A = this chain, B = another copy of it.
Amino acid sequence: MNPPPAEIGAPVAEVETPALVIDLDALDRNIAKMAEFARAAGVRVRPHAKTHKSTAIALRQIALGAVGQCVQKVGEAEVLVRGGVKDVLVSNQVVGERKLRRLAALAKEATIALCFDAPDQVDAASRVARDFGVTLGGLVEIEVGMERCGVAPGRDAASLARRVADAPNLKFMGLQAYHGRAQHMTTHQERAQAIAFAVDAVRETLEALAAENLPCEIIGGAGTGTFAIEAASGVYNELQVGSYVFMDTEYARIRGDDGRPYAEFEHSLFVLASVISVPTADRAIVDAGLKSYSAERGPPWVHDRPDVEVTGVSDEHGKLKVGPRARPLSLGEKVWLIPGHCDPTVNLHDWYVGVRKGRVETLWPINARGASI
């Protein structure tokens, strides 16, 4: 792990760059807003830790009412449980005996569930849970339009649910019905249509489960782009939102139900960079590139400088175009970049630098960084 890029109490001007900075006021408002929304809508929030990879943020979410955390990987679950999180859902398939053993070991300390979309996996998890003398929760993942993992909704799903319910040391918990692709569809109407399809798939499956007398405790899914739609569906009862804590340009590019840029949440995550070269009046180069932010969804935006645009990214450089009437950038000047895609950006850094009122208030280790196994 690299040393932190700042000292607590220092002014932001003294943060070494590139650094991953959180505006703590904005983060707190985002977490509170989602908590308040869920309370009013009568659904639970189980935020996704794949976004923040940090025990510190997980515990803040839980303090405001989140029922636990989602993760994608056993390694992430280990970090959270070690840090005091008591209820973790692996919203993914876990394949391999050793990974299942690590997960079963965690079930001695916390409530642990995982997803299934294949009978063999149910049997493997059951065997391992029995060896460890623990119970693992099991959700059946259904295909809801994303074409990634998941069994067909309806009878196929119910048959797999039956297998979970009957397997020793597993407890059938419900359905995993996440539509990832829907999160980034541009218009609200497209997203609503996609989630309507997902809701139909859930309903069809619930009917088949009712015929088997298999009730669902969890019907989970939803992301930052669609959570209000799932919450209003009458079938989903757990929101697995992740990016809402930070926002990114990918979410800022979609449109709300009023047709305007989606602004439910504030940008609270920034890559702080410094200008290291000003070769021409209209060009400045900063010290943050592909190793400081993820760019497969486009380059970062420059915060609060609409007249400055990132026009090129390489491994350790960002190329900025300075508009003709813009205030020029000077050597050493700091620039706040809003990442294109927050989850893989976070995974590049070892530390969050939490700032409030222009000062470094906290340093949080990104303690599940790289925990992909």
Q: Which residues of A contact B (CB under 8 A)?
A: 1-2, 5, 16-19, 50, 72-73, 75, 92-96, 98-99, 117-118, 120-121, 143, 147-151, 180, 274-279, 283, 285, 287-288, 290-292, 294-296, 312-317, 319, 331-332, 341, 343-344, 347-350, 370-373
Closest to A278 in B: B118
Which of B50, B316, B331 contacts A92 (CB under 8 A)?
B316
- Which of A94, A276, A291, A294 has the most CB atoms of chain B within a 10 A radius of its CB? A291
**Which one, B96, B117, B312, contacts A279 given CB within 8 A?**
B117
Given known A295-B296, A370-B348, A373-B5, contact A275–B316 (CB-CB < 8 A): no
The chain B residue with its CB closest to the CB of A311 is B147
> A285 contacts which chain B residues (CB < 8 A)?
93, 148-149
Known contacts A75-B2, A96-B16, A316-B72: does B372 contact A291 (CB below 8 Å)?
A: yes
Give the number of copies in the complex. Answer: 2
Cα A317 to Cα B121 with chains together (Å): 18
From A297, which residue of chain B is reached at the shortest CB distance?
Answer: B296
User: Which residue of chain B lies nearest to A298 when distances are taken between CB atoms in the complex?
Assistant: B296
In the assembled complex, the CB of A14 is this many whole angstroms from the nearest CB of chain B, namely: 9
Enumerate chain B residues within 8 angstroms of A147, measured Cβ to Cβ. Answer: 279, 283, 319
> Smallest distance from the beta carbon of A240 to chain B beta carbons, Å?
13
Can you list 13 A-B pairs with a CB-CB distance of less than 8 A? A1-B370, A16-B96, A16-B373, A95-B276, A95-B331, A117-B279, A120-B331, A147-B319, A150-B279, A292-B372, A315-B343, A316-B372, A347-B348
